[in-house]
């Protein structure tokens, strides 16, 4: 979440008139995150989250797919924000030149690496598996715009400039890319979240109360989605691998959707691939960043360390 597009009070009041959710009382930008513009919006009826989808990370043609995914999860009993309909029954609108949607506010708070325990990781793993099962109801298809061809493009376009961040980073990325491409498996696939990080999962009283941020949702390998999550949930605040968290997440996932033998055998490849993907995207963000930009980019070297850890194995 972030604020890239400013919205005036008059613009917001006009926008809210399309909904039956009451009159505007107050609103404030949500500054966390990197991809889209988000506001908390309070009316005389309730409190909501308004998202304006930004073009630098989201293909506008994919947004109905994201919303369908969110609605499918909600209707399957998986905790996630309710997508609020307008008076005409549509969920997608426009505000300030951006596609815009209003969601309900979840109970609890977004997770953080500092609060994680093996038990919370297990519950998060169970929820991810439930999402994969529910995704089987979706027949529409959306490509993964951040899959292997994108990684190759990043490596080619950035080139040795990435060594400005760390000597040897370009050779590491090139050699890992070649290895991943040779090892990429053929496994069960479907609609995946593709960004299942702790801050995208809400908790209250030790339980998962919701999942947010569906702007990377696409079709890809379920086990790759799991590998992304294992990268995100298995390291502590010092970026040290925690086997108990890794095992807890896997235990929760397998309790709902047991991995096949082929999926288990492919995990060592996929956790490295997931680490490479976020290493490269963060390198791109870091090198594009300029003083004065609203959002401070994440540190890409976090994922350099995770990649090197998984190069040694997953145990």
Q: How far apart are CA 132 and CA 309, in angstroms?
A: 27
CATH (domain of 48): 3.30.200.20
**What would the pLDDT profile of 288-299 be if each residue is shown by its tens digit?**
877 766 567 899
**What would the pLDDT profile of 175-220 be if each residue is shown by its tens digit?**
999 999 999 999 999 999 999 999 999 999 999 999 998 989 999 9
Q: Is residue 278 part of a domain?
A: yes
Confidence (pTM):
0.92
pLDDT band of 88, cuts 50, 70, 90: very high
Q: Is the pLDDT of residue 16 over 80?
A: yes
Q: Is residue 98 part of a domain?
A: yes
Q: 55, 88, 105: which is the final residue of a domain?
A: 105
Which residue matches tokens 């399957």? 76
- Residue 125's CB: how many other CB atoms inside 10 A? 28
Beta bridge partners of 218: 192
Q: Is residue 17 part of a domain?
A: yes
Give the contacts of 219 (CB within 8 A, at least 6 positions apart): 141, 142, 143, 144, 189, 190, 191, 192
Q: Is residue 65 part of a domain?
A: yes
Q: Which residues of 296-306 are buried (b: 16+ CB within 10 A; e: fewer)?
A: ebeebbbbbbb
Q: Is residue 263 part of a domain?
A: yes
Percentage with pLDDT > 90 across the chain:
88
> Do 275 and 162 reside in the same domain of the chain?
yes
Q: How far apart are CA 137 and CA 236, in angstroms?
A: 35
Q: Is the pLDDT of residue 127 over 70?
A: yes
> Do 213 and 306 reside in the same domain of the chain?
yes
CATH (domain of 288): 3.90.1200.10
Q: Residue 36's pLDDT is what?
A: 85
Which residues form the domain of 128? 110-311
> Do 143 and 213 reside in the same domain of the chain?
yes
Q: Is residue 67 part of a domain?
A: yes
Domain count, the chain: 2
> Do 216 and 81 reside in the same domain of the chain?
no
User: Exposed, middle or buried, 266 (CB in 10 Å: 0-12/13-18/19+)?
Assistant: buried
> Do 302 and 243 reside in the same domain of the chain?
yes
């Amino acid at each position: 979440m972030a604020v890239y597009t400013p919205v005036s009070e008059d613009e917001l009041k006009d926008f809210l008139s399309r909904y039956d959710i009451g009159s505007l009382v107050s609103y404030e930008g949500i500054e966390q995150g990197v991809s889209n513009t988000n506001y908390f919006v309070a009316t005389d009826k309730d409190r909501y989250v308004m998202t304006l989808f930004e073009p630098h990370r989201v293909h506008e043609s994919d947004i109905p797919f994201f919303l369908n995914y969110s609605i499918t999860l909600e209707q399957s009993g998986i905790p996630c924000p309710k997508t609020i309909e307008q008076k005409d029954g549509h969920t997608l609108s426009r505000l300030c030149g951006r596609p815009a949607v209003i969601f309900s506010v979840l109970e609890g708070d977004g997770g953080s690496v500092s609060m994680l325990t093996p038990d919370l990781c297990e519950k998060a793993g169970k929820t991810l598996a439930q999402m994969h099962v529910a995704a089987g109801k979706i027949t529409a298809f959306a490509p993964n715009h951040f899959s292997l061809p994108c990684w190759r493009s990043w490596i080619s376009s950035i080139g040795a400039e990435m060594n400005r961040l760390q000597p040897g980073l370009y050779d590491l990325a090139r050699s890992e890319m070649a290895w991943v491409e040779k090892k990429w498996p053929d496994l069960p696939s479907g609609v995946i979240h593709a960004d299942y990080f702790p801050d995208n999962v809400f908790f209250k009283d030790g339980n998962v109360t919701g999942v947010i941020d569906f702007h990377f949702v696409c079709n890809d390998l379920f086990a790759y989605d799991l590998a992304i999550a294992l990268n995100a949930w298995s390291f502590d605040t010092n970026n040290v691998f925690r086997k108990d968290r890794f095992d807890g997440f896997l235990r929760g996932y397998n309790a709902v959707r047991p991995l096949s033998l082929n999926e288990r055998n492919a995990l060592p490849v996929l956790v490295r691939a997931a680490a490479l993907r976020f290493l490269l995207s963060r390198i791109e963000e870091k090198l594009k960043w300029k003083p004065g930009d609203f959002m401070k980019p994440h540190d890409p070297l976090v994922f350099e360390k995770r990649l090197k850890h998984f190069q040694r194995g997953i145990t």
